[in-house]
Amino acid sequence: MFYEYSYHFESLIIENTGIKHIMSKFDLLKQTFLGNVDERIPLALWKHHPIADRTPEGLAKEEIAFHQRFDSDIMKISFFGHYPCVDFGCEARYDGAISGSTTLTKAAIHQASDWEVLEKPDVMEGEFGNQVRAVELISQYAQDVVPTMATIFDGPMVADKICDKQLARYMDENPGIIETALDMITDVMIDFARATLEGGADGLFIASQHSTKSVVTDEHYERFILPQDLKLISKLRGKAKFIVVHLHAREPNEIVRFDKIAHTQGVDAINWEDQSASLGLREGKKISKKAVLGGIDHNGVFRTGTPDEAKEQVLDAIQEAGYEHLVVAPGCVITVDTPEENIQAVKDGVRSVKLYDE
């Protein structure tokens, strides 16, 4: 995993009193994942870039500009929301959603027999290929500057999107067909993830939208969801320098299925809507013994409050969570209408936290 890799550079600044070492973002992330508290708490900020993100060049330009503006300690490469679906036969468009994601306008699956004729796409071509090209372009900027992670959807999340969110029904009515389809889709996402790593991504941000009890039953989770997630992680953990898993919670106070993924070998950190779900950051760290990404109330005061309110909220979250094993980040995605003043205030607040006396 991340700690097995060494980076060949250091950042140094010369002062009147001598030479002072400034920890690189790579070393900072490595130490945080190990549970060590050093110079500062890492900050990860990410958002979608609608319209521009439909071309490799547009996405790369926006991601680089966003990083240059806010200097995040991790760059999550946020492909457009239906990127894995197009090559399976779907169509999508951006209709103004504040999340920055797209809306499905044409599904690939309309009946059970459609799953059986679903063809495996080439991840170096089409929309998958466009995302790989974006990673390559971004890596030209990010190499030796900031760790990057490509956003990978798990197989069930892709399957749910291509059938217009009818996956639960198909799991009930056609379980054998769905198991076969999920195996194939997960294989595609494994191939795509490997292609992004070969394209220059350092790590992976693996997203699941079927981690809460309100979305799928325990039986569905154990049969259809968890095995695909474990397969995805096991096939990629030897390739990626680090893996972050995002467990999506749609509604406030949702119960997140946390334990099994949290204890999976190869997972370095976990991200979820900690500010609204039933599970907080401190408890998540205690259960998993791993790093957690969160603390920013991305749908609350971060988006709608004043800069001072946004800063105060995240500083309170840091105090509650504790400094070790913590990366400050949104629970899901920064909305496109979030004021830049609030983002800057949160960045300044996180950077102001003193972890030790100088």
* pLDDT for residue 12: 31
Are 325 and 284 in contact by the 8 Å Cβ rule? The answer is: no
pLDDT bin (cut points 50, 70, 90) of residue 161 is very high
251 pLDDT exceeds 90? Answer: no
Range of the domain at 10: 2-352
151 pLDDT exceeds 70? Answer: yes
Strand partners, 103: 93
One-letter amino acid of 155: G
Tell me whether residue 323 is in a domain: yes
262: closest CA among 237, 285, 231, 234? 285
Segment 258-264 shows an average pLDDT of 91
Instruction: Give me the torsion for CA of 249, 250, 254, 259, rounded to 10°.
Output: -20
Structure tokens at 120: 């495996």
Question: DSSP characters for 46-87?
Answer: -B--TTGGGSHHHHHHHHHHHHHHH--SBEEE---TTTTTGG
Burial class (CB in 10 A: 0-12, 13-18, 19+), 147: buried
Tell me whether residue 145 is in a domain: yes
Q: Edge-to-edge strand order for the sheet containing 203-208? A: 75-77, 148-153, 203-208, 242-247, 269-272, 291-296, 326-330
Tell me whether residue 153 is in a domain: yes
First-to-last alpha carbon distance for the chain, in angstroms, is 32
Segment 242-253 shows an average pLDDT of 90
Dist CA 210 CA 208 (whole Å): 6
Segment 51-75 shows an average pLDDT of 98
65 pLDDT exceeds 50? Answer: yes
Tell me whether residue 358 is in a domain: no
* Coil, helix or strand at residue 320: helix
* pLDDT for residue 7: 30
Segment 308-320 shows an average pLDDT of 98
* Coil, helix or strand at residue 127: helix
Dist CA 159 CA 50 (whole Å): 22
Structure tokens at 263: 């204890």
Residue with tokens 């390559």: 136
Tell me whether residue 116 is in a domain: yes
Instruction: Give the global pTM.
Output: 0.93
Dist CA 356 CA 344 (whole Å): 23
Looking at the 3D structure of the chain, how many domains does it have? 1
In total, the chain counts a number of residues equal to 358
One-letter amino acid of 143: Q
pLDDT bin (cut points 50, 70, 90) of residue 38 is confident
* pLDDT for residue 333: 96
Dist CA 316 CA 58 (whole Å): 36
Tell me whether residue 357 is in a domain: no
* pLDDT for residue 357: 55
Are 299 and 264 in contact by the 8 Å Cβ rule? The answer is: no
302: closest CA among 294, 150, 166? 294
Q: What percent of the chain has pLDDT over 90?
A: 87
CATH for 11: 3.20.20.210
The more confident residue out of 13 and 138 is 138
Dist CA 218 CA 23 (whole Å): 44
Q: What percent of the chain has pLDDT over 70?
A: 93
